[in-house]
Amino acid sequence: MPELPEVEVTCRGIAPHLVGHQVLAVRVRNPNLRWPVSPQIQQLVGQTIRAVTRRAKYLLLDTEAGVLILHLGMSGNLRVLHDPPAPAKHDHLELELDSGAVLRLNDPRRFGAAIWWQLPLDAQPLLAHLGPEPLTLGFNAEAFQARLKGKTTAIKTALMDNKIVVGVGNIYANEALFAARIHPKTAAGALSRTRLERLVQEVKQVLSRAIEQGGTTLKDFTQADGKPGYFVQQLHVYGRGGEPCVACGQALTEIKLGQRATVFCRRCQK
């Protein structure tokens, strides 16, 4: 599944091609995504895209008439095509722009979404209860500790809870906890302010590095320009269960935590 860095890279990749351009046509070839695509999406036609932003793993295309909310689901991707080939089987949605370019959503598993929203964004059910963005000042040790107070759930599970902080998916939770030397099963509410300060710092660093390198290519993701991400070359624990720890050489342990693969070093992470 594309995680926050991949979505941010996509946002940055498509924005220069969309902002300031008018939508000439909206073509919905298959409305049966995670939620049915509403016919009201045709209200985009004639609108100028004012901004392309990201909230958690949602991409927001802002116009005067409303906002198109896009989610890439498990395997979706967006492409800006200036000489588009004929639509393929899984090309479900496209916007034709006055520049001649086409923004095309491809989603083999159809777990993505395209939602036309015309009310304030804070009233949107998918966005209303999200926690702070991890790369903003709103995600800090003080606020993090307050959200974790009294929680006995594992810190890795809490770190992946979008009501606590958004966008820290499985890959980057594994990596940040390793960098912070915190055992993933540690009770979230038991961590000291000092340890949380380090964890917050490591979350920001690991996400920032991933964005700089274009996201992590695992199976389905490639950037908006078709180039893959390279952060996978820097993964220290994720996907490396049984391999030696890069810090101490001990074999890394892999378990299931919250139904997600969790890899850590028993010696380095306490």
Is the per-residue pLDDT at 31 higher than 80? Answer: yes
Which residues are within 8 A (CB) of 84 and not within 5 positions of it... i.e. 6 or more apart? Answer: 94, 102, 104
Reference 113, options 2, 14, 227, 223; nearest CA is 2
- pLDDT at 213 (0 to 100): 85
Residue 19 inside a domain? The answer is yes
Residue 131 inside a domain? The answer is no
Residue 97 binned pLDDT confidence (cut-offs 50, 70, 90): very high
CATH of the domain at 27: 3.20.190.10
SS3 content of the chain, % helix, strand, coil (to 5): 30, 25, 50
CATH of the domain at 246: 1.10.8.50
| Mean pLDDT value across residues 77-102 | 94
Task: Dig out the tokens for 75 from the structure.
Answer: 């395997």
CB atoms within 10 A of CB 109: 14
Residue 186 inside a domain? The answer is yes
Which residues are within 8 A (CB) of 229 and not within 5 positions of it... i.e. 6 or more apart? Answer: 5, 6, 9, 210, 213, 214, 215, 216, 217, 221, 222, 223
Sign of CA dihedral 206, 109, 118, 20: positive
Same domain, 118 and 145: no
CB atoms within 10 A of CB 255: 12
Residue 135 inside a domain? The answer is no
Instruction: State the catalytic residues.
Output: 2-3, 57, 260
Residue 2 binned pLDDT confidence (cut-offs 50, 70, 90): confident
Same domain, 49 and 117: yes
Same domain, 147 and 81: no
Residue 269 inside a domain? The answer is no
- pLDDT at 3 (0 to 100): 85
Binding residues for DNA: 90, 109, 151
Which residues are within 8 A (CB) of 5 and not within 5 positions of it... i.e. 6 or more apart? Answer: 172, 207, 210, 211, 215, 216, 229, 231
Same domain, 12 and 57: yes
- pLDDT at 219 (0 to 100): 53
Residue 145 inside a domain? The answer is yes
Same domain, 119 and 147: no
| Mean pLDDT value across residues 197-206 | 98
Same domain, 161 and 217: yes
- pLDDT at 222 (0 to 100): 57
Same domain, 114 and 177: no
- Residue 185, domain extent: 141-264
Residue 93 binned pLDDT confidence (cut-offs 50, 70, 90): very high
Is the per-residue pLDDT at 68 higher than 70? Answer: yes
Pairwise CA distance, residues 222 & 92, whole Å? 18
Same domain, 243 and 165: yes
| Mean pLDDT value across residues 126-140 | 96
The mean-pLDDT minimum among 143-152, 157-166, 200-209, 231-240 falls in 231-240
For 226-249, b/e burial (b = at least 16 CB within 10 A) is eeebebbeebbbbebeeeebeeee
- pLDDT at 59 (0 to 100): 97
Enumerate the H helices of the chain as residue ranges.
Answer: 4-18, 141-148, 155-159, 170-180, 193-212
Distances (CA, A) of 182 to 46, 78, 259: 52, 36, 19
Same domain, 108 and 54: yes
Binding residues: 90, 109, 151
Q: What residues are paired with 168 via a beta bridge?
A: none
Number of domains in the chain: 2
Give 143-166 pLDDT, tens digit per residue.
Answer: 999 999 999 999 999 999 999 999
Residue 73 inside a domain? The answer is yes
Pairwise CA distance, residues 53 & 7, whole Å? 10
Same domain, 72 and 166: no
Is the per-residue pLDDT at 221 higher than 60? Answer: no
Quote the mean pLDDT of the chain. 93
Same domain, 52 and 145: no
- Per cent of the chain over pLDDT 70 is 93
